[in-house]
Chain A
Amino acid sequence: MPAISKSPWVVHFNCNSCNGCDIEFLACLTPLYDVERLGILHVGNPKHADVLVVTGSVNHRTARVLKNVYDMMPSPKVVVAMGVCSSSGGIFAEGYNVLGGIDKVIPVDVFVPGCPARPEAMLDGILKAAAILDRKARETGLATVPAAKPVITVVPPAAEAAAPAPAAAT
């Protein structure tokens, strides 16, 4: 089914971002980059979307929301981690509230590095995602990869006091 790679509708979720990547992403919609010429539409509704673009690292608060948004999208679907924070946590990776990259919560298909990622790189990432979407539609059909349960990496203080050896700290 080649139609799906020619109309990837994108829903954009700001997980925990500093807004740098979001502003660059919105630049893709401007006449200079014009993503609509590639059939890409920026929709506000996960139920209409094929591509989930996530900016920013994931934290305890946003993990559930991110999983929810991902689960609301109909298959076949792909996820693009936009920018270095959503890929690995970026400079916030060591933060007490940060879980890390979004691949801790949902399966990611394309990682776009950069801080912020350039609009050209974002376009490239979405097109790569569209190709993956095409392949998924052909190979796996409507089978959905379920999102993992959010991984909690921070040990609560009470548990830390009870068990000095931090087994779940990684």
Chain B
Amino acid sequence: MTIPWDKMAIGAAALLCAPLLGALLQGLDRKLTARIQGRQGPPVVQPFYDFFKLLGKEQLLLNRMQVLYAWLHLAFMAITLMLLVLGQDSLMLLFVLAFSTLSLVLGGMCVRSPYSRIGSQREILLMVAYEPVLILMVVGFYLVNHSFSIACVWQADQPLLLRLPLLFLALLAVAAIKLQKSPFDLATSHHAHQEIIKGITIEYSGPALAVLELAHFYETALVMVLLALFWATNWWIGAGIALGAYLLLVIVDNACARLTTAWMFKFMWTVILGLALTNIVWLYLSK
């Protein structure tokens, strides 16, 4: 089997550009958060400084599996993004994404730090909370396009958002979880992380932490592309929607406190899952 040149070019471009996009978005987030709090804030390129600094630091490891899991987390996250931009099967996408998160959880579980363990357990709970919504999203894709392929979403004449508005709202909550935003930043967080210190990433340092940061850049880009997919007929509108959603999440992040896992679980399995299910039932009946 030969891979066409154009697909390889798209894949390579995505692999290179996605971390840049993710890092810039995170820099924008920190700047905006600072402005909301009445501060000046760091420069927008601050995540790049942080990343390169971590690369140059000493590597302190507790065991070798730890660094393997960090790399697996990054690799699966990059593959997920590739599957998305190359228009592959959406079920496969969810599967690989789950593997990526599981690697992170295993990395947190393979050390004996209680904070790391608590963070990992919370990450598992978050996964259990958002996975059903993602699966319903794929079901929605199928009901609209009669295919699980993401390429079919691009080729559709009508934007997905018009058929899946409630599912898009549900997906915003999932995006908040994936981007570690309040009120869902239970496992690890960029701000005010004194409660379980740094949760799942507490035992990582130096280059291994840089790998996790890079994976999070990919994750940010992945969430953005996934949100933009809901208006795939015009990518400018799609990008606008994704950026608007990101700004909304930053504002919600600043307006909300971190809430408990029990609250998060109840909220996700009632309100958010209810929204997604209503959309699916409506789609099914309106056919």
What is the interface of chain A, defined by CB distance below 8 A to chain B? 1, 3-4, 6-7, 31, 34, 36-39, 43-45, 47-48, 50, 72, 74-76, 137, 142, 144
Contact = CB atoms under 8 A, between A and B. Distances in A.
Given A31-B39, A44-B198, 4 more contacts: A3-B52, A4-B56, A47-B202, A76-B57
16 contacts: A1-B53, A3-B48, A31-B39, A34-B34, A34-B39, A36-B30, A36-B39, A36-B41, A36-B42, A39-B43, A44-B197, A45-B202, A47-B205, A48-B205, A74-B58, A144-B58
Contacts of A76: 56-58
B34 A36 contact: yes
B34 A37 contact: yes
Interface string B120-146: 000000000000000000000000000
B218 interface: no
Contacts of A38: 42
Contacts of B42: 36-39
B198 A48 contact: yes
B61 to A, nearest CB: 10
B254 interface: no
Nearest to B207: A74
A138 to B, nearest CB: 10
B40 interface: yes
A28 to B, nearest CB: 12
B37 interface: yes
A6 B53 contact: yes
A3 B53 contact: yes
A18 B120 CA distance: 36
Given A36-B34, A44-B193, A45-B197, A74 B60 contact: yes
A3 B49 CA distance: 5
Contacts of B52: 1, 3
A47 B59 CA distance: 10
A69 to B, nearest CB: 13
Contacts of B69: none
B206 interface: yes
Interface residues of B, number: 31
Contacts of B53: 1, 3-4, 6-7, 50
B56 A137 contact: yes
Nearest to A6: B49
B209 A48 contact: yes
* Shortest 5 CB-CB contacts between residues of A and residues of B: A3-B52, A74-B58, A47-B205, A34-B39, A75-B58
Contacts of B219: none
Contact of B194 (A44, A72, A142): A44
Contacts of A4: 53, 56-57
B168 interface: no
Contacts of A1: 52-53, 56
B206 A74 contact: yes
B57 A74 contact: yes
A75 B46 contact: no
A48 B49 CA distance: 14
Nearest to A74: B58
B29 interface: no
B20 to A, nearest CB: 16
Contacts of A39: 42-43, 46, 49-50
